[in-house]
Amino acid sequence: MIFNRFSRQKPSLRSQPFTLLTCCLSATAANTTNNSSKLYDHYSFKPPPSLSPKPENPNPTLNPNKNFKKKSKPQYRPPSSLDAPKKKYTDLPFDFRYSYTETNQNVRPIGLREPKYSPFGPGRLEREWTGVCAPAADPKVKSAEEGAEDPNLEEKRILVRERIQGEPLTNAERKALVEKCHRNRTKRQINLGRDGLTHNMLNDIHNHWKHAEAVRIKCLGVPTVDMKNVCFQLEDKTFGKIIFRHGGTLVLYRGRNYNPKKRPVIPLMLWRPHEPVYPKLIKTTIEGLSIEETKEMRKRRLAVPVLTKLAKNGYYGSLVPMVRDAFLVSELVRIDCQGLERSDYKKIGCKLRDLVPCILVTFEKEQIVVWRGKDYKHPGDDGQFFTHRELFDDPENDSACGVEEEVMGDSSSQQDFCSGDDE
């Protein structure tokens, strides 16, 4: 109580020490400032850069220009489809098509199913898309009828292929490359299916050639009806050489002078273009027959015995010789295509029409019925089709390399190389 009364009566005594302390501190700071100035004048004391009010540049060579401003990084901008892409220029001497084996340049389409949108993307290729192909000769072609291939391009392709291939392989070198492509040695393989040799498949082949001199290609489905065309297009478009063939299995060699760093620029197709409209395969009246004869022939279409039944995604390399031989006995031939896509057996019928040759009667009920015509003559062995297995041995090289043991000679190894489905 006494302490409280004393604090209430004399409040000024409690705040007086704080006032005196503040005055002492201010006087001490003033004396320190005067003393520091006197010390600097008397002893020439120079404070270190860290204590100086305006620190000098410790390394003047790093920033000699005082007005220099560091450039700021541009802000990240995600890629957009609205940005103008860079055009790709390529000097490949052939027209770009979606499929090189399943399109016939001699047959002109009668219309297009969509506008002429380039499947390479807008503004990504210097060639103009005509609806069917991107021609190499004249990039300003605006109609499908004008897109005929320049005959000089074939000569240019031959010269490029000869330069890349160099000297031919000896039998020993060929057998060594084929042995490396054995399915027990490597699983690297390119599958060629119903669409045939597509444009993007060319890029896949060159990617395989980065790691190996030869690549194994397995062909199944519709393109195997005409294996000679498949082999020709592979060598013509890739500038390689086929060194082994057994059924639908091929080994494609890249060439002695092939340089993966100087591989051709192959722009990729971003989507599959719609096929153009072609004339009808089956006409109302069969060529060379009247209306009544056409009706009678179509009535007995299912009474004809089946020549063969096609398996889905099988090998059809012997189909054309079978049809040619069957025409020696019967004027009508029926092929069972149950289980196949409608587009597949239509393409098979179109190939038979051109290769046998014959006349298409009907595609009803998943059957291909063809007629040989009135004046049919068996073409014989015209050399247009390959045998089941083709030999690539050069007898002139046997003396130089000695007697070599057959790498793929026995039947057991052949079955292992080309057996059914790969794992």
pLDDT of residue 360: 92
Residue 409 lies inside a defined structural domain of this protein: no
Residue 181 lies inside a defined structural domain of this protein: yes
Q: Does the pLDDT value for residue 55 go beyond 70?
A: no
Cis bond leading into 115, ω under 30°? no
Please check whether residues 108 and 206 belong to one and the same domain. yes
d(CA 252, CA 411): 22
Residue 330 lies inside a defined structural domain of this protein: yes
pLDDT digit string, tens, across residues 162-187: 999 999 999 999 999 999 999 889 99
At which of 253, 268, 302 does a domain end? Answer: 253
Range with lowest mean pLDDT among 5-19, 75-89, 268-282, 340-354:
5-19
Mean pLDDT of the chain: 79
What average pLDDT score do residues 102-106 get?
86
Give the CATH number for residue 307: 3.30.110.60
Cα atoms found within 13 Å of the Cα of residue 152, Cβ hemisphere only: 3
Please check whether residues 104 and 227 belong to one and the same domain. yes
Q: Does the pLDDT value for residue 150 go beyond 90?
A: no
d(CA 79, CA 188): 34
Q: How confident is the model at residue 345 (pLDDT cuts 50, 70, 90)?
A: very high
Please check whether residues 293 and 237 belong to one and the same domain. no
d(CA 267, CA 410): 42
Please check whether residues 217 and 299 belong to one and the same domain. no
Residue of 385, 384, 243, 369 lying closest to 317 (CA atoms) = 385
Give the distance, in angstroms, between the CA of residue 5 and the centroid of all CA atoms in the same chain. Answer: 101
Please check whether residues 349 and 293 belong to one and the same domain. yes
Please check whether residues 100 and 212 belong to one and the same domain. yes
Q: Does the pLDDT value for residue 198 go beyond 60?
A: yes
What average pLDDT score do residues 230-249 get?
93
Q: How confident is the model at residue 107 (pLDDT cuts 50, 70, 90)?
A: confident
d(CA 107, CA 350): 12
At which of 371, 392, 417 does a domain end? Answer: 371
Q: Does the pLDDT value for residue 123 go beyond 70?
A: yes
Q: Bigger pLDDT: 401 or 125?
A: 125
At which of 325, 347, 371 does a domain end? Answer: 371
- Give percent of the chain with pLDDT exceeding 90: 41
What residues are paired with 333 via a beta bridge? 370
Please check whether residues 218 and 286 belong to one and the same domain. no
Please check whether residues 360 and 242 belong to one and the same domain. no
Please check whether residues 134 and 186 belong to one and the same domain. yes
pLDDT digit string, tens, across residues 15-53: 454 454 455 545 554 454 444 456 566 666 666 666 555
Residue 348 lies inside a defined structural domain of this protein: yes
Please check whether residues 172 and 307 belong to one and the same domain. no
Residue 419 lies inside a defined structural domain of this protein: no
Number of separate domains in the chain: 2
> Coil, strand or helix: which one is 27?
helix
d(CA 46, CA 50): 11
Please check whether residues 203 and 286 belong to one and the same domain. no
pLDDT of residue 8: 52
- Give percent of the chain with pLDDT exceeding 70: 69
Question: pTM score, two decimals?
Answer: 0.72
Residue 243 lies inside a defined structural domain of this protein: yes
Domain of residue 167 covers 96-253
Please check whether residues 314 and 239 belong to one and the same domain. no
List, in order, residues 6 or more apart from 336 with CB less than 8 Å away.
306, 308, 309, 310, 366, 367
Residue of 269, 236, 271 lying closest to 252 (CA atoms) = 236
Q: Bigger pLDDT: 52 or 114?
A: 114
Which uninterrupted H or E stretch holds 336? strand 332-336
Q: Which residues of 185-203 are buried (b: 16+ CB within 10 A; e: fewer)?
A: eeeeebebebebbbbebbb
pLDDT of residue 409: 42
pLDDT of residue 342: 93
Residue 264 lies inside a defined structural domain of this protein: no
d(CA 415, CA 411): 6
Q: Bigger pLDDT: 89 or 272?
A: 272
pLDDT digit string, tens, across residues 381-394: 665 555 666 656 66
